[in-house]
Amino acid sequence: MLGKEIPVSTPQRKLWHIVIVLAVCMLTAIPSGADDARSENVDSQTFLRRNLTPAGPPASASAAAVEKLLGQMTLKEKIGQMTQLEIGMVSDGQGQSLRINSDKLHKAVGEYGVGSILNVNDEALPAQKWHEIIRGIQEEARKSRLQIPVLYGIDTIHGPNYVIGGTLFPQPLAMAATWNPELMLRGSQIAAAETRKAGIPWSFSPVLDAGRQPLWSRLWETLGEDTYLTTVMGVATVRGYEGSDLSSPGSISASLKHYVGYSYPSTGGDRSPALIPEITLREYFLPTFAAAVKAGAHTVMVNSSEVNGIPGHANGYLLKDVLRDELGFEGFVVSDWMDIKKLVGVHHIAANEKEATRIAILAGIDMSMVPSDYSFSNLLLELAQQGEVPASRIDEAVRRILTVKYQLGLFDDPLRGIDSKTVVGSPESRQVSLEAARESITLLKNENHMLPLAKTAHVLVTGPDADSLIPLNNGWSYTWQGDRANMYPKDRATILKAIQEKIGAANVTYVPGATYNKEVDIAKAAEAASKADAVVICVGEWAYAETPGNIPDLTLPDAQLFLALKIMETKKPVILVLTEGRPRIISRIADPAMAILMAYNPSNEGGQAIADILFGDVNPSGKLPITYPRSTNRLFTYDHKVFEGEDWGEGKALAAPQFEFGSGLSYTNFLYSDLHVVPATASASQSVRVDVTVKNSGGHAGKEVVQLYLNECFASVTPPLKRLKRFAKVLLQPGESRQLSFELTSDDLSFISADNKRVVEPGVFDVRIGGLQQTFEWK
């Protein structure tokens, strides 16, 4: 064997380094110069080092109380705690007419002792309505024999998206495009405080599955394709949600999902099987979860589908051996929607639901999102009484659930947060969302400095996404699919309205041109284009979430392509604005376009943010967190393994994506110089120092993301072309320079070997930053 396996300390945690070294290795970025403080907060490793500390109180603080309560509980009460029902099981009506049904609620909480309730029924509710619902549920719990509070859960995906008036942030993929973990932390803190203000202490987020399948309908819920970027931004989300004290009225429990491999379906379809070799799973998918566990996340939600033929809800190896023994997770594991039932009807690994329940509980599921009947409670009670599920396993699951409820402070005050001073949707919070949208938007092309546009220009605005808040937000926005226009606030600007406000309505012509997939008035749009100074074409996607968002082809719909092509025939300068949750293929219109803005799903403040960048009030600083493909059959990530023909002839041109991971332009220029790597030869007892200088050589202040990539020139397992190791986002004034220093240790050079263990091998390594490259040898 060429390398040395990293030593381990205990047999129970013998593979610990396999999954967490990438996430927690000690590489330090040290900005130097007069303005250090401005960039310190966005240095990725400094951020990780400060935030890999779990929130209090520790489980030990409530251990005695939990054991005492556990000893008083009947078997049925214990199983009730493991049961999660949807809100319709305790209520009548839907939407704003939703109301608690006292008989249904008594059956659930009083008779079955249900431990958790989730979801909305149809649409978001105002905080006051949530208070009414949550108060009714907790009052019923206080009438029960042991007065155990109910844990309510909701999908807070991009802010409190099920609380009317709440501050919505750019979707997670867009937040990743900021490459700003401090901004992610602040946004998550606001989301947590506003969710807890509604009386809800638990969010089913973040998605930590690496977004490495661009066809997947949930790509926009991920933090991008790269393991390290997802790790940093995922830790920021967990720390923002859980804070320093989980029992605080401004904190909520995170739920890491969907453990693990859910994001890499072979077909691209949601909830469809993934084939992921263990070496790949450990290299690219597990480290994100490992770091979030180390940061203290209290719950985990399971992969709804299967990996290598084993459904996530039946995979004891991943749920127990890896999650518990290797990663050290101490919280509880919750199923996803109906997924124990699906072990029968979808995966066909159980003959009936009773057998499926036994398999799932023994595999490591602690709480079942049943969610619309009492079958789980009834069947698990039978299984326990018959000895097919040991009492010790029931106690183990309930102990974990009760511990989290104590840590959330629910036993002291089940309504904690309702009376907090948090203002839902405050102007200050909206400003943070606006800043996030501005920092996320990525300038992909700017030929002949087409942007920024002059505010005196006459502009045609067209395209299906120009005059709606729906594509600015996407799914999980007031409703599950996010496609109900009447739910969106009336005082937020669409792209069209923001441009009109920016340069005056008289300078703007609007022609829709097309819907998402149908031609409307393309000839009229082309005629208007001929009279304009410039054309802003707003194309991309409409709203969708989960399986309804499945598509067979990433190509932008023909109606939108035809609209753009007809306008381009006028020879007027075209700016494409892409509002989309995944990279739709635009190769037919990318080259003729003068400028391209990738806006992702930037939220309710996104219209203003887009206009700010189009007209130069904000300098764009977003960088792609994904590889933007050029064609439908060339879908690969930036860190792929080399393939034959990639580096020569026609193969090189075909292999190139439309836009590279980590790319993004600015209205200023940044010059990199003085890359030094010392020493040129190092060994396990040494670290390697990397210095680089970046200068704003243009005429505008701007933020640059300094990205450090590393690759091993040869190894016992074929190395990827390069891997992101660290990044720092720095603000530089015109003419300003700054030196950054990084320190690499042996952990940064490690990888998963053929026997699924993390190793470091002697070899030659290339360090790449900003187009510069230096080499060092590791012995």
Q: Which residues are catalytic?
A: 336
Amino acid at 594: M
CB 602 within 8 A of CB 170: yes
> Could you tell me the two tokens for 544?
């969708």
DSSP calls for 503-529: H-GGGEEEE--B-SSSBSSHHHHHHHH
CB 407 within 8 A of CB 379: no
The SS3 call for residue 471 is helix
- List 300's β-bridge partners, or say none: 256, 333
- List the helix and strand counts (H, then E) for the chain: 25, 32
Give dist(CA 404, CA 151) in Å, integer: 9
Per DSSP, helices labelled H in 111-263 are: 127-143, 172-177, 181-197, 227-242
Q: Do the bridges between strand 763-769 and strand 299-302 make them parallel or antiparallel, or are there none, so unpaired?
A: unpaired
- Angle formed by the axes of helices 427-440 and 606-614, nearest 10°: 50
What is the dihedral sign for C-alpha 751, 754, 756, 762? negative
Site of tokens 């009225």: 249
Residue 416 backbone zone (phi > 0: left; psi -120 to 50: alpha; other: beta): beta
- Unique residue bearing structure tokens 């000690």: 26
Cis omega (within 30 of 0) on the bond before 452? yes
φ, ψ (nearest 5 deg) of residue 143: -85, -15
Amino acid making up residue 463: G
57 cis-preceded (ω within 30 degrees of 0): yes
Q: Say which residue the tokens 């390697």 belong to.
A: 688
Show the tokens assigned to 21.
Answer: 């070294």
Residue 602: HSE in the Cβ half-sphere, 13 Å Cα cutoff? 36
CA distance 290 to 295: 9
